[in-house]
Structure 1
Amino acid sequence: MTRAVSTDLLSLARTIALEAGALAFRRRAEGVNIAASKSSPEDVVTDADREVETLIRARLADARPHDGFYGEESEATAGSSGLTWVVDPIDGTVNYLYGIPHYAVSIAVVAGDPAPSSWTALAGAVINPALGELYTAAAGEGSFLNDRPLKVKTGVPLSLALAGTGFGYEAPRRLWQAAVVQGLIGEVRDIRRMGAAALDLCAVATGRLDVYYERGLQPWDHAAGALVAAEAGAKVGAFGADSEGKDLLIAAAPDLYLAFEPLLAGLFARLARE
């Protein structure tokens, strides 16, 4: 993939993210309607989720009709170009529902199968329309907050690291995740749970978080945000040589990653024995 093509893909992702973010912001101001529940009554989808994804899908189909599409709220379709757009129309839907200004539209384009273990992320855009913050990245080209280049913080010791994580919607999973937090809380500066994985990954890129980890993420949750973090210099992966995915995602500066990963692995192993 040439640099020019990656730049064109990023330009398209950026343009559509701005339009989609503006639509999500308008719908939030007008009032949010719950359309359905998904994995549990707490896991909701709003009319705006569906409307925003429909907009993104239509714009991409017009611009690149041979690409695949893999979004949270509609059926996935394969393309013939070898590229797939991985989309979360509103990441942080519960925040969006409650009027908490920490939600995002996330758009990424990947080469290969739309699976984190095998794809190559080429470009991505994550926008928080409530704050007017647009994160962008293209492979090998760095990442940006609006027009400001981003670089992950290094040299942060584990004991002074601000960690971010997320919780699932089903009670048994949340209880297990809370047990992990209990094991970590005395080892780091503090822990934040802000409710939007795409923005948490971008927070690692900006230095608002030093490390982020979560288990149970879907591809659309992290496709764009992980690229933003990686292009800012973060290591994004899981345990050992594993790549990020549903089983686990960790993002941090490489030196902090080396300290955090074995700590988290030890906690997972202990909880598995209990």
Structure 2
Amino acid sequence: MDELWTLAEGVEAAVREVGAKLAAGRPVEPTPERTAEEAMARFAELDGPAAAELRERLSALRPQAGWVPEELDGSVPAEGEWWVCDATDGAVQYLLGQPHWAVTATLVRDGAAVLAVVHAPELFGAGRTYRAVLGGGAQLDGRPIAPLERELATTVAATSQPPLVAADPVALRRAGESLSAMAGAVLAVRNLGPTALQVAQVGSGHLALFWEYGQDAGNLLPGALIAGEAGAAVTDAAGAAWTASSDSFLAAAPGLHADAVGVLRAVS
């Protein structure tokens, strides 16, 4: 565990440096591109160098770990040690000139996260940094964190969808049904940008719960480790153990988890 915490310090330094450069280059106004192709080309100009630098720095820290390319199918290898990273998690917000984006780096061992850093360079002005190691707890800006307990009716819940959810009609339908069910049970439902950051915020009490339908391991793994190490309950939507191959996800404060599962039980 001490080895992982030492590694986490180096990983945090890397993501902070990459995040600072991205923040300096972020457009102040929304990018004017009109089509998806134009927007992706513009994003690649900014994200490409950042992703290359992040890979170089993390590979130097852990040369025996492989590198999972940034792909949209959400899958990760089931065996071996791998870096799963996103230099600009929250590309949509980044291109719109909004602060809700992050740099994420996760070390995955045999399909499970053992180290995660989620750094949001512009959140709350000065930026916020979550980190966790398996069995070692979770921190926000160097301080231990824990979820906050509230009644379900007074909570703010968050949700999102995997990048390719439109190609998964079952997940797409469940996303709609669950949104209607949850909106009637909580104070408010929001989508606040990067999935990893939102799940991590469950661990620090900034959000009460987060749920999602569809496979999205690459985005969920860092936040899941942080939230779980902070003390949140991390499962699938039915309350069973969550793994990288699960087709749904739920993270909630322990006292809210059973109620949240009850709400999502209405989703077929």
**In structure 2, which of residues 103, 109, 114 is the aligned counterpart of residue 122 of structure 1?**
114
TM-fit CA distance, 1:195 = 2.0
Counterpart residue type for residue 183 of structure 1: A
1:261 maps to what in 2?
261
Q: Given the two structures, how large is their TM-score scaled by the length of structure 1?
A: 0.81
Return the alpha-carbon distance in structure 2 between the equivalents of residues 151 and 262 of structure 1: 23
1:190 maps to what in 2?
188
Q: How many residues get paired?
A: 252
Q: 1:69 to 1:94 in 2, by over 3 A?
A: same
Identity %: 30
Counterpart residue type for residue 26 of structure 1: A
Q: 1:64 to 1:101 in 2, by over 3 A?
A: same
**In structure 2, which of residues 128, 136, 142 is the aligned counterpart of residue 133 of structure 1?**
128
Computed over aligned residues only, the root mean square deviation of the Cα atoms, in angstroms, reads: 3.0
Structure 2, gaps ≥5 residues long: none
1:152/1:232 contact within 8 Å kept: yes
Secondary structure of residue in 1 paired with 2:214: coil
Q: 1:129 to 1:265 in 2, by over 3 A?
A: same
Counterpart residue type for residue 7 of structure 1: W
Structure 1, gaps ≥5 residues long: 113-118, 270-274
**In structure 2, which of residues 159, 166, 170 is the aligned counterpart of residue 165 of structure 1?**
159
Q: 1:235 to 1:43 in 2, by over 3 A?
A: farther
1:116 maps to what in 2?
none
Counterpart residue type for residue 133 of structure 1: R
Q: 1:265 to 1:88 in 2, by over 3 A?
A: farther
1:203 maps to what in 2?
201
**In structure 2, which of residues 90, 99, 102 is the aligned counterpart of residue 101 of structure 1?**
99
Return the alpha-carbon distance in structure 1 between the equivalents of residues 6 and 142 of structure 2: 17
Q: 1:52 to 1:73 in 2, by over 3 A?
A: farther
Counterpart residue type for residue 120 of structure 2: N
Return the alpha-carbon distance in structure 1 between the equivalents of residues 28 and 99 of structure 2: 15
TM-fit CA distance, 1:174 = 6.0
Q: Given the two structures, how large is their TM-score scaled by the length of structure 2?
A: 0.82
TM-fit CA distance, 1:211 = 0.5
Return the alpha-carbon distance in structure 2 between the equivalents of residues 186 and 57 of structure 1: 43
Counterpart residue type for residue 49 of structure 1: D
Secondary structure of residue in 2 paired with 1:46: helix
Counterpart residue type for residue 100 of structure 1: Q
TM-fit CA distance, 1:129 = 0.7
